[in-house]
Structure 1
Amino acid sequence: MKRLPEAIAPDKDFGRLLRQWRRTSDIKQSRLADILGVTQATVSRWESGAQSPAPLQYNLIHQMMTRKRNFRLDHAIKRLVMQSSQRVHLIEDRSHRLLCVSSPREAEWQRDATPLLGTSLWRFATPEIASAEKSLHDLGWHEDQTDHLTFENSRRDGDPLRIVDSYILWERFFLSDGTAVRLTTGFDQQPNHV
């Protein structure tokens, strides 16, 4: 497959290369749209050459197209999260959809997490989590200027979801399909190793 140049805007070949990469990678237009925060129609216009992505989206697409897919690594990450002795869970970075959760986190929530898998956890955010989320833009979170954030959080002992973490660590990285994910780890006291 032809490699996209890093420093120039997409040309007439961009749409064809994007469609070829997406099909080869078995990624549906709707999935790519979700990852990039656009509509499926927008991805279709990019592929047809009717529209070009914004520079930020182009850079994200370029990163995804040039990154080697490693499904074994993705499965290893999921397994490590699920078997962790810490209160951790993994979400999609932009949608906040739950991908996997450790047993200690599930115990903290005092509920079976299975019905939550694939759904957004945003509705359970504390005011501190919402404030931290708002700060991500200024920190350059989505532009890869920072990849972790630790903040103090308030506890919640009841509905809608129990939260016992006094401090939360967010760490951002990418799965092999280009999806930005966030590992969320809870601590009783401020971690000094980050």
Structure 2
Amino acid sequence: MLSDGSILQSNLGSSLRRWRVLNRVKQQALARDLGVSQTKVSRWESGLAQPEGADLLKVLKLLRARPETAADRALLHLVEQAAAPVHLVCDLTHRLLAMSPARAREWHVPVSEFLNRPLWRFATDSIRSMECQLADRGWYEPSGPDIRYRTERAEFPEMTIPESWIRISRLPLSDGSFARLVREDPQDGRA
């Protein structure tokens, strides 16, 4: 989970609704599975309320990216074979799903140390700032745009984040969850 739950929760309702619609699950059935009322699910989806405590953990478990189909596994494979420094994370939890060999060379520990673990603790100030702006930039819309921003260099014992332009793309997975493709964008600095 993100260390800043407010960022995560501010867009949880729309993600929950999308998951439910894509998986053809009625609010009442989801409410029963989560052990809450249908009214509570409706309020979460509309943004009038946010899940908390055990309810939040259940919703996060439901919505986190699980690349399980052949198409999703092919996406992971493409990232793992990419020549450029790229990585793929769960859009909701920032858990690492896959990374390219070029990205792995920037990091100082084996890929296995990061897989299925959140990377949020390595976020630079500019990454955190951009995360707060995603909703305003249309990131969570059905066909949201790629987002491009500049990040500062950061040194961690586990990795180096180079000063660079970053481009992120939100990719839907087969189960209705989303992954985020993170890559350097060497273009000429246009925003």
TM-score bracket, normalised by the shorter chain, equals 0.5 to 0.7
Deviation track 1:115-169 (CA, whole Å, cap 9, x = no partner) reads: 1111110000111111111111211322336231011111234535211251111
Partner in structure 2 of residue 186 of structure 1: 184
Aligned equivalents of 1:91, 1:170: Cα separation in 2: 10
- The aligned counterpart of 1:119 is 117
Higher radius of gyration, 1 or 2: 1
Q: Which residue of 2 aligns with 1:171?
A: 169
Rounded Cα–Cα distance in structure 2 between residues aligned with 1:191 and 1:86: 17
Distance 2:174 2:121 in 1: 27
1:15 maps to: 28
How far the C-alpha of 1:53 sits from its partner, in A, is: 2.5
Unaligned 5+ residue runs, structure 2? Answer: 1-25, 48-66
CA distance in 2, matches of 1:80, 1:165: 25
The amino acid of 1:15's aligned partner reads Q
Q: Which residue of 2 aligns with 1:4?
A: none
* Preserved CA contact (<8 Å) 1:90 1:183: yes
Q: Which has the higher contact order (CA 8 A, sep 6+)?
A: 2
Return the alpha-carbon distance in structure 2 between the equivalents of residues 19 and 50 of structure 1. 8
- Which string of whole-angstrom CA distances, capped at 9 and with x for unpartnered residues, describes residues 74-109 of structure 1? 011000000000111000112111111111101011
Q: Which runs of 5+ in 1 are unaligned?
A: 1-12, 21-28, 30-42, 58-68
- Number of aligned residues: 148
Q: Equivalent pairs: percent with the same residue?
A: 31
Q: Is the 8 A contact 1:153 1:166 kept in 2?
A: yes
* Higher mean C-alpha deviation, range 107-116 or range 79-88: 107-116
Q: 1:116 corresponds to which letter in structure 2?
A: F
